[in-house]
Amino acid sequence: MFSAQQSCWFVRKVICWRAAASIAWAVLLLPPTTAAFIILSRFSILHPFQWISECLSLLTSASAIFSFILLGGVIIIVGFLNLEYYTVIPNIACSKIALLGQLLHPRQFLSSLVHCIMGIIVAWCCAVTIGGRYETLGYPCVESDGSPEMCLNEYHLVLLLAGAFVGFSHSLLGVIHNMNYVSFHTVQRYKYLRFKGSLPLVVKCSATQALYSVRNYIVIYFFLGYIPKTWMCKTLNLHLNSSLHSLDTIAGLLDLCLIYHLWISATFLLFTWYITLVLFRIFVTEVYSFPVQSSFTEDSHQCLPKVITEKQPMILKFLALQDLALLSQHAPLRRSEVFSLSQPGGHPHNWNAISKECLSLLSDLTQRLIVYHDTVATNGRAKPLSTGSERKTSSDTSVISGDDPFTPKSTPLMKTPASVFTRSVVGGPQSPLTAPFTPDLDSPFASPALRRLTAPVGQCSPWHDTVQSPHIMRRGPKLWSTSTDSHVNGSPQLSPASVPSPKQEVSKPSLLAQFLQNRKEQVKNFLAKRVLIMYLFNKLPEASSQALFADSQAHIWALEGLSYLVQASFSEDRFGVVQTTLPSILSSMLVLQEAVDRHFKLPHASSKPVRSSGTMGDCHYKTLRFALRATLKTAIYRITTTFGDHLSTVQMSAEHRKRLQQFLEYKE
């Protein structure tokens, strides 16, 4: 409940205002866009003066103002839909059927419906603005028998339906191209410059997308156009003018002027919507600077160490991590707050909370990767325990669990003297969140001298020798599934893939099971022969890899933040706060490095995605795994180049030391 209240705080105070600002700007941009649309739609090269004066008089007319109000309303609704549907973690469909499921989701259906209606409204505004033959739905005509009647204006209807179609296809393409995904950019720029930079892309995208949509629409109208036409005539009691030829014929649709007007209207529609989307993305991803610590307790839930551990809303966590990455790089003053000690008690609560969250993010990703790799490598079947090839993984496991900074096992010898010392002196109230996990050496009472003394002792501690012991090796595989429990407050369960379900199943070669297995295979084989089913259920290549790394932007920031903070700690950390966590940071990075390396050896994992420049959908998520790999390597190098040979005094398993030596020699 408390967390819900907090998320309310952020969404209410920041996100909503940002969305409102973006909508306001989109509405403000409407008049120039409409003016451009009017000028382009009434284009006539032969009568330039008449053209300009007509446009000017139209812009100041009452109908134009009414259109403005309508369009403004549409923009506001689009903005609300953006706010409602946006996500920072893309929803990646791993097969065609999943994509179909997304498309047919009731929520999505609602959105499509709203887009359709808004498309009709925009198209009506366009029809009124273009004027001429498009202006009204009905017009008085004279029947063959001479009696005056109201006839259906098919041009008007075509334009309205085109608006509906473009709105609908926009909403569908939004799902296919993940248009609601909001990505964060590595290059920070001011909002105005970002908007200016993305404007040409918006124009290009809306023009091309409008072209494709109009082409599809014309084809559909050619075949199915008579249905809405007759329906309209029936419900509104209008007549078809038999003297004019109908538009759902080849001759009728090959009217270049009509096609141009359809296209320019669709472009206008898409342009205003895309602008709203782009503005929303720019505003919502703007850097938010959280205070590292606050002097007032009522503001403490807004501080970075608290906010960073939040699970919901995701945007809050992402912005907090982004702020962490930036502060660790650029802000020495705020860094010093991270390294500072709490005033009564002298605990590095800020650093502990931040490093713990970052490390739990990293270990979460590591586990997800390992589970995925095991699932793929064993083809989804349960695998036999403790085979020879498992040795490597299991030793890693032991290191994950063993080097976890907050399990007391990790520093058995190191802990004793200092912790005893601290407890006896401090004795004050400790926050329940961090107290059991705090390695006590980082208190101010543990002087650097003491720390230095204990470090070499820790290095030759018995724990070090037992790392490779068969005991840990044996229970290694089991730990994969259970070690999430060790993070009490830890990792958000971001992906369902982290549940190692296939391993749980017990393979008993009983007769019944054999029979069922055979049946299953038969059914599978039967279905596999049906092309459509194969098409729908086949996994899309590299989609699962993309889905695995869908939220990796958070991991990238965590890696950057940690590595920059560790680098800065070399000269700025006066209390040695970071030193206590350095072994676990290094080991979790190295374990992740190994997992990532293994993942990239899988088929499709290292294949580059096709770059599609023509859509407004953000393809950032497709390359996140490469960005993560590069950032991870850079982060480890950043630590090794900063500390150099001093890393030899950091305790670490032999395997990790070997790995680290590779980094120290620049051989990775």
Partner 1 sequence: MCSLALFPPPLPSGHTTLCESNNELLSGASSEDHRLIQVSQNKLGINTAFLDHSETLWMRSAAAWRDGGFTGLLNEITNSHTEDIFQILKIWCTLALLQWVSSFHGSLFPHLTLSSEDMIAEFSQVLNWPDCVVRAFAWHPHTDKFAVALLDDSIKIYNPKSATTPTLKHRLQRSVAAVQWKPLCASALAVACQNCLLVWHVDPCSLSTRPSSGCAQVLSHPGHSPVTSIAWSPSGSLLVSASPMDTAMMVWDVAAENCVPLQRVGGGGVTFLSWSPDGSHVLASTPSLLFRVWETRMWTCERWPCVKGRCQSGCWSPDGSRLLFTVQGETVIYALTFTDAPGKVYTAAAVVADLSETTFNTQDGDITVGGEIQSLAWDPKGERLAVLLKGLVQSDRPPVIAVFKTRTSPIFELLPCGFVQGEPGAEPRLMQFHPNFQHGALLTVCWSTGRITHVPFYFLSAGVPHFGLNGSPSLPRPQERPSDFANQSLFTEMIS
Residue given tokens 């900063």 in the structure block:
642
Q: Is the torsion defined by CA of 293, 299, 303, 308 positive or negative? A: positive
How far apart CA 248 and CA 172 sit, in angstroms, is 25
Q: Is 191 exposed, middle or buried (0-12, 13-18, 19+ CB in 10 A)?
A: middle
Of these, 634, 654, 658, 661, which contacts partner 1 (CB under 8 A)? Answer: 634
Phi and psi at residue 343, to the nearest 5°: -70, -60
Stretch that binds partner 1, among 75-83, 123-131, 362-370, 622-630 (CB under 8 A): 622-630
What's the min distance (Å) between Cβ of 637 and partner 1? 4
Of these, 630, 654, 658, 661, which contacts partner 1 (CB under 8 A)? Answer: 630
Q: Which of 562, 266, 513 is nearest to 382 (CA)?
A: 513
Q: Is the torsion defined by CA of 631, 616, 27, 315 positive or negative? A: negative
Retrieve residue 161's tokens. 């339906």
Stretch that binds partner 1, among 181-189, 403-411, 501-509, 533-541 (CB under 8 A): 181-189
Q: 223 or 666: whose CB is closer to partner 1?
A: 666
Of these, 105, 185, 392, 478, which contacts partner 1 (CB under 8 A)? Answer: 185
Indicate whether 637 belongs to the interface with partner 1 (CB under 8 A).
yes
Neighbouring residues of 297: CB distance < 8 A, sequence distance ≥ 6: none
What's the min distance (Å) between Cβ of 292 and partner 1? 17
Contact letters for partner 1, residues 407-446 (x by CB under 8 A): ----------------------------------------
* Calculated CA dihedral for residues 204, 206, 212, 216, nearest 10 degrees: -170
Retrieve residue 295's tokens. 């002097």
Interface with partner 1 in residues 599-618 (CB under 8 A): 608, 611
DSSP 607: S
Q: 14 or 627: whose CB is closer to partner 1?
A: 627
Q: How far is CA 159 from CA 249, 260, 265, in A?
A: 16, 11, 8
Of these, 487, 643, 650, 651, which contacts partner 1 (CB under 8 A)? Answer: 643
Amino acid of residue 40: L
What's the min distance (Å) between Cβ of 557 and partner 1? 12
Of these, 334, 373, 599, 638, which contacts partner 1 (CB under 8 A)? Answer: 638
Q: 419 or 563: whose CB is closer to partner 1?
A: 563
Of these, 176, 193, 523, 528, which contacts partner 1 (CB under 8 A)? Answer: 193
Please say whether the beta carbons of 418 and 458 come within 8 A.
no
Rg value, the chain, Cα: 31
Q: 164 or 338: whose CB is closer to partner 1?
A: 338
Indicate whether 629 belongs to the interface with partner 1 (CB under 8 A).
yes
Is the omega angle on the peptide bond into residue 291 within 30 degrees of 0, that is, cis? no
Indicate whether 329 belongs to the interface with partner 1 (CB under 8 A).
yes
Please say whether the beta carbons of 268 and 125 come within 8 A.
no
Indicate whether 644 belongs to the interface with partner 1 (CB under 8 A).
yes
Q: 243 or 641: whose CB is closer to partner 1?
A: 641
Please say whether the beta carbons of 57 and 50 come within 8 A.
no
Indicate whether 456 belongs to the interface with partner 1 (CB under 8 A).
no
How far apart CA 255 and CA 408 sit, in angstroms, is 79
Percent helix, strand and coil across the chain, each to the nearest 5:
70, 0, 30
Q: Quick check: helix, strand or coil at residue 642?
A: helix
The Cβ-side half-sphere exposure at 198, using a 13 Å CA radius, reads 23
Of these, 45, 46, 187, 511, which contacts partner 1 (CB under 8 A)? Answer: 187
Indicate whether 667 belongs to the interface with partner 1 (CB under 8 A).
yes
Residue given tokens 């325990």 in the structure block:
385
Q: 267 or 567: whose CB is closer to partner 1?
A: 567
Retrieve residue 222's tokens. 């050619």
What's the min distance (Å) between Cβ of 646 and partner 1? 5
Of these, 105, 204, 330, 478, which contacts partner 1 (CB under 8 A)? Answer: 330
Interface with partner 1 in residues 248-307 (CB under 8 A): none
Q: 547 or 639: whose CB is closer to partner 1?
A: 639
Neighbouring residues of 177: CB distance < 8 A, sequence distance ≥ 6: 615, 616, 617
Q: 126 or 595: whose CB is closer to partner 1?
A: 595
Indicate whether 332 belongs to the interface with partner 1 (CB under 8 A).
yes
Stretch that binds partner 1, among 21-29, 44-52, 594-602, 643-651 (CB under 8 A): 643-651
What's the min distance (Å) between Cβ of 526 and partner 1? 40
What's the min distance (Å) between Cβ of 29 and partner 1? 20
Retrieve residue 153's tokens. 């204006």
Interface residues with partner 1 (CB under 8 A) are 185-190, 193, 197, 329-330, 332, 448, 452, 560, 567-568, 570-572, 574, 608, 611, 619-620, 623-624, 626-627, 629-631, 633-634, 637-638, 641-646, 665-668
